[in-house]
């Protein structure tokens, strides 16, 4: 899984790696990303390659409080309006069937899941504990994790819990202050190691698990 809002410096590299390895990717993009002329060719290429392209909201809203997760920061009307705009942006690329939805910041609560379900959508998220989602951090942040640390955490998770059925999230664009881009390990380390461990890379089903 790959999510993007305003950066995508590694997206073309990721696309080439997935194509080389014949792996289906799932790209969750905001409406703002989809409308950005800079990313238009990339999106068309991802679609032509057969990858899933779905919504990551329109404006990358924060739905609920970081500390008190049950405290919503948006109304249902605002949620629906934003979501509708993101699907209009998808439709501009001929994408009209995208039932899997990754909330912005990967942060949400049961109310958001219910609101999404009312729109015929299934909320999806990365598997907790796998750790690759922290590849957005950069040195200086208290939660910074180097790519080596993320890699070790991923395989430690597999050793302790198994990655069977897991959803792994990687960001195709990160802050320039992060120079050790985690996605650069995809072709050299992540994919070959997972294959050696017996894993295959699956595609989400066409219909949600309602």
Q: Is 30 within a domain?
A: yes
Give me the CATH number covering residue 172: 3.20.20.370
Rounded CA separation 162/43 (Å): 32
Q: Decide if 56 is inside a domain.
A: yes
Q: What is the pLDDT of residue 206?
A: 81
- The pair of structure tokens assigned to 152 is 């070790």
In a domain, 208, yes or no: no
The reply to whether 54 falls in a domain is: yes
Question: How many domains, the chain?
Answer: 1
Is residue 203 in some structural domain?
no
The secondary structure of residue 66, as a DSSP letter, is S
Of residues 173, 105, 104, 167, the one with CA closest to residue 138? 173
Nearest one of 135, 154, 136 to 193, comparing CA atoms? 154
Question: 170-195: per-residue pLDDT in tens?
Answer: 999 999 999 999 999 999 999 999 99
DSSP string of 137-195, one letter each residue: --BTBTT---HHHHHHHHHHHHHHH--TT----B-S---TT--S-GGGHIIIIIHHHHH
- CA torsion, ordered 56, 62, 66, 72, to nearest 10 deg: -110
pLDDT of residue 6 exceeding 70:
yes
- Mean pLDDT score of the chain, rounded to an integer? 97
Statement: residue 207 has pLDDT above 80: no
**What is the mean pLDDT of the segment spanning 66-71?**
96
Predicted confidence (pLDDT) at residue 55 exceeds the cutoff of 90: yes
pLDDT at residue 41 in the model: 98
Element spanning 2, H or E: strand 2-4
Residue 6: inside a domain, yes or no? yes
How far lies 79's CA from each of 64, 73, 84, in Å?
A: 11, 10, 9
Domain of residue 171, residue span:
2-196
For residue 88, being part of any structural domain is answered with yes
Domain assignment present for residue 201? The answer is no
209 pLDDT band, cuts 50/70/90, is: low
The counts of H helices and E strands in the chain are 8, 5
């Amino acid at each position: 899984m790959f999510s993007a809002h305003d950066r995508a410096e590694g997206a073309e590299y990721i696309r080439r790696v997935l194509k080389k390895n014949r792996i289906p990717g799932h790209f969750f993009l905001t409406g703002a990303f989809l409308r950005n002329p800079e990313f238009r060719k990339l999106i068309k290429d991802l679609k032509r390659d057969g990858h899933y392209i779905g919504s990551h909201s329109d404006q990358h809203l924060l739905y609920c409080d970081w500390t008190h997760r049950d405290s919503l920061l948006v109304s249902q009307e605002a949620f629906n309006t934003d979501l509708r705009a993101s699907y209009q942006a998808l439709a501009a690329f001929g994408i009209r069937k995208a039932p899997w939805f990754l909330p912005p910041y990967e942060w949400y609560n049961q109310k958001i899941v219910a609101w999404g379900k009312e729109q015929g959508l299934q909320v999806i998220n990365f598997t907790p504990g796998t750790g690759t989602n922290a590849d957005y951090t950069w040195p200086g942040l208290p939660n910074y994790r180097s790519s080596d640390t993320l890699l070790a955490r991923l395989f430690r998770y597999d050793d302790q819990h198994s990655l069977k059925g897991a959803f792994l999230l990687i960001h195709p664009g990160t802050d320039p202050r992060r120079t050790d881009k985690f996605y650069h390990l995809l072709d050299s380390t992540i994919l070959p190691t997972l294959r050696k461990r017996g894993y295959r890379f699956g595609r989400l089903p066409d219909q949600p698990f309602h």
